[in-house]
Amino acid sequence: MFIDYASPDTPTELNSDIAIIGAGPAGITLALELASSGKSIALLESGSTETDVETQSLNIGESTGVPYFPLNATRLRGLGGSTGHWSGWCGPLNEIDFVKRDWIPHSGWPIELKDLQQYYVSAQSYCKLGPYAYSPEQFIEEYNDFPEFALQNLKARLWHFSAPALHFGKEYKPVLELLPNVTVYTHANVTHLNLNETGQHIDSATLNTLSGKSGLIKAKQIIVAGGGIENPRLLLASNDVSRHGIGNDKDLVGRFFMEHTEAESAKIRGFNAAQMRQLKRVKTQAGDELGVAFCASAEKQKEFEFGNGAAFIAAPRLQRKSGWTAFIAFRDALLTAKAPKNALENLNRLMVDFDTVAGVFALRLRGSGTNAQIVDNGSIDVIAMAEQIPIPESRVTLSDNKDQFGKPQAKLHWQLAELDKRTIRYTMQLIASEISRLDIGRVQLSEWLQDDSDNTWSPRLRGGHHHMGTTRMADDPGAGVVDKNCKVHGVNNLYIAGSSVFPTGGYVNPTLTIVALSVRLADHLKKAQ
């Protein structure tokens, strides 16, 4: 059932066996999985079933270091969390992402890929995707003429697209409403975790609403599932008993913030349009949408000591002086009843490059849309999407500024390492080499990648709104905030869910792994009862 905590009829003090803080994909998955445990579950959401400006303003924070998105724009408060604006890209991490790599500082998970496989299958179902299959060879009809990359250099992995992108709140609200032992509390902002005197147990969590109501929730087990920025913020701000914050005796909470480094990194020309359309995105007969990631092989990563990088084909760009742009010039002139500029030049381009115009029209008639064209006379951007090397200097701390509850806002300092650019450069060189060898196009690396001695970044560098690593997982309390079961070291009833526990992030979008780890955590809690 759903209860508005801000309502005068709702008691200020709540009690539950398990309290889950945050109703994004991690929190919702946990609530659904734990429903079968027979325990009472409280799912606490800062917002409501829809986002609103006032609640969203609680995400305002500071940003320093590498330019980043505004903190109140890169995540959402409300049922479903940031699945309210995600683009639906899904995939499991690679095997190499879990292992200790001597050339990648602070790498290695305390679990292996095989420990997550069964949970990835469950996550695939939660995300409403097709079969758990991520190799082109598993989709013969869709990829029957797939390029034969030299696997010691380059491998192809698939993304599954949740299309349209699944909003966890809208999808699972009807189910949550019917579960007798799950209560979703909206407008319930958890502002403090209250430790006992020894600092080894959470006695309660403080609740506040923007309307001025305050109270507590007491639970036997607390799970923090607020995201990679909000999770460390809450731990750090709960510093009345442990003065450095909960779980932060080793100064690790908030450190190792990671994103996926994304940037236009090359252009492909001289390609076969039909083949490139296939490599960009296809729809299976069952209606599942797939896309191809071109990945540096594990062997090459080890040989040349760089991180796990990949790239994908973006929406292509027509040549600036193509026949299609000439046609657009004439169309716009007719619509405005004005003479077209450079009429003779445009007429010449239209006649010489009429194939492009015909190709675009053919795609539009098939419903492909003009923003996703791949036509023979255009060029295609290749977008790198690589793991960020975990470094302690990239971190979330507390700002001197306060939110509406008088709590410190988050302060993000996003920092990159020289190895991050090396990862993109080597990945793109491998891709260019293989495409050239197979004679399926000509690849030109972007200027910012061409000089090995140049450590500057593209001005178009960005992240993927993927906030990882700030409460990282490790067996050793000196190396991480949570153990392999996502329990905070030194606190016997506090767990963390979400991508903040990732020790490394790979190149793959994190949602599928977030959901898989949530299913695994629920399984652990049910077995431990």
Structure token digits, residue 319: 């040549």
- Provide the percentage of residues in the chain whose pLDDT is more than 90: 80
Lowest mean pLDDT segment, chosen from 95-99, 144-148, 476-480 = 144-148
> How many C-beta atoms surround the C-beta of residue 135 within 10 A?
12
Q: Could you give the 3-state DSSP secondary structure of residue 429?
A: helix
- Provide the percentage of residues in the chain whose pLDDT is more than 70: 88
Among 463, 336, 479, 403, smallest CA distance to 65 is for 463
Percentages of the chain per state (helix, strand, coil), in multiples of 5: 30, 25, 45
223-236: string of b/e by CB count within 10 Å (b at 16+)?
A: bbbbbbbbbbbbbb
User: What is the amino acid identity at position 393?
Assistant: E
Q: What integer pLDDT is reported at residue 369 of this predicted model? A: 46
Per residue in 371-427, pLDDT (tens digit) is: 444 555 567 889 999 999 999 999 999 999 999 999 999 999 999 999 999 999 999
Gap between the Cα atoms of 363 and 427, Å rounded: 31
Confidence check: pLDDT of 23 > 60: yes
Is the Cβ–Cβ distance between 155 and 145 less than 8 Å? Answer: no
- pLDDT interval class at 276 (50, 70, 90): confident
DSSP 12-48: SEEEEEEEEE--SHHHHHHHHHHGGG-S-EEEE-SS-
361-365, long-range: CB within 8 Å, 24+ apart, which pairs? none
Per residue in 279-330, pLDDT (tens digit) is: 888 999 899 999 999 999 999 999 999 999 999 987 544 444 556 566 667 6
Q: Could you give the 3-state DSSP secondary structure of residue 241?
A: coil
Calculate mean pLDDT across residues 159-172.
Answer: 94
Q: What integer pLDDT is reported at residue 247 of this predicted model? A: 97
Q: What integer pLDDT is reported at residue 145 of this predicted model? A: 86
Gap between the Cα atoms of 197 and 194, Å rounded: 9
- pLDDT interval class at 370 (50, 70, 90): very low
Gap between the Cα atoms of 281 and 105, Å rounded: 35
List of domains in the chain:
2-127+162-259+463-528 (3.50.50.60), 129-160+262-314+379-387+417-456 (no CATH), 323-377 (no CATH)
> What strand order describes the sheet that includes 62-65?
62-65, 408-414, 395-402
Among 423, 437, 449, smallest CA distance to 505 is for 423
Q: What integer pLDDT is reported at residue 331 of this predicted model? A: 67
Confidence check: pLDDT of 366 > 60: no
Structure-token match 């490059």, residue found? 353
Q: What integer pLDDT is reported at residue 305 of this predicted model? A: 97
Lowest mean pLDDT segment, chosen from 141-145, 346-350, 447-451, 493-497 = 346-350
Per residue in 443-454, pLDDT (tens digit) is: 999 999 999 889
Q: What integer pLDDT is reported at residue 372 of this predicted model? A: 40
- pLDDT interval class at 269 (50, 70, 90): confident
Average pLDDT, the chain: 91
In 93-209, which ranges are continuous DSSP H helix?
95-98, 117-126, 168-178
Per residue in 205-230, pLDDT (tens digit) is: 999 999 999 999 999 999 999 999 99
Per residue in 78-132, pLDDT (tens digit) is: 999 999 988 899 999 999 999 999 999 999 999 999 999 999 999 999 999 999 9
